Amino acid sequence: LTGYGSTADAFRVTDSHPDGRGAIACIEAALADARLNPDDIGYINAHGTSTEVNDKAETLAIKKVLGAHAYQTPVSSTKSMSGHLIAAAGAVELISCVMALRRGVLPPTINYETPDPECDLDYIPNAPREKRVKHALSNSFGFGGQNISLIVSLTEICSGSPGERGA
């Protein structure tokens, strides 16, 4: 774990602020804590609840923080496979990020059939993608505006295959 950001925007009990302000500050804080630039992020596990307001706000936040790099960064929502695990969602999604870094396979967003024109990033539709990345961002933006962004990074000690050094 190389970076951590936490914010509380308390816009509505069930909605993120539509301009993504809490998510933006949260992602920026995680990048600052990790001492990384937005261009260093190679994969994002989105909070990705597949709700119109949340997905648009998170997409906006990713674009604001990553700039042009947002369009080159694969993003997926593992909730598409696990469902929303509520309090356990962040932990499971962080594990997905760690496994993606270790194995060089990014998880897909399954059942991705009708793209929203305002959510125009690379959401890894329907099939995993082989890609080696060094840094992954995991977003968890909960009810009541509780926001957490975590960055995990592949280091030499944990870059071996399972069963090797660092496993």
How sure is the predictor about 16, in pLDDT bands with cuts at 50, 70 and 90?
confident
Summarised one tens digit per residue, pLDDT across range 92-107 is 999 999 999 999 999 9
Going from N- to C-terminal start, the domains of the chain cover 3-157
Question: Is the domain defined by 3-157 classed in CATH 3.30.470.20?
Answer: no
Structure tokens given for 65 = 């923080």
- Nearest Cα neighbor of 128 from 68, 80, 62, 83 is 80
How sure is the predictor about 143, in pLDDT bands with cuts at 50, 70 and 90?
confident
Distance CA 11, CA 19 (A): 11
Structure tokens given for 99 = 């496994």
Please give the pLDDT value at position 79.
85
Summarised one tens digit per residue, pLDDT across range 69-123 is 999 999 999 988 887 878 788 899 999 999 999 999 999 999 999 999 999 999 9
- Residue 135: phi and psi, rounded to 5, are -130, 135
pTM: 0.90
Please give the pLDDT value at position 151.
99
Which DSSP letter does residue 166 get? T
Say whether 84 sits in a helix, a strand or coil: coil
Please give the pLDDT value at position 50.
75
pLDDT at 68 over 50: yes
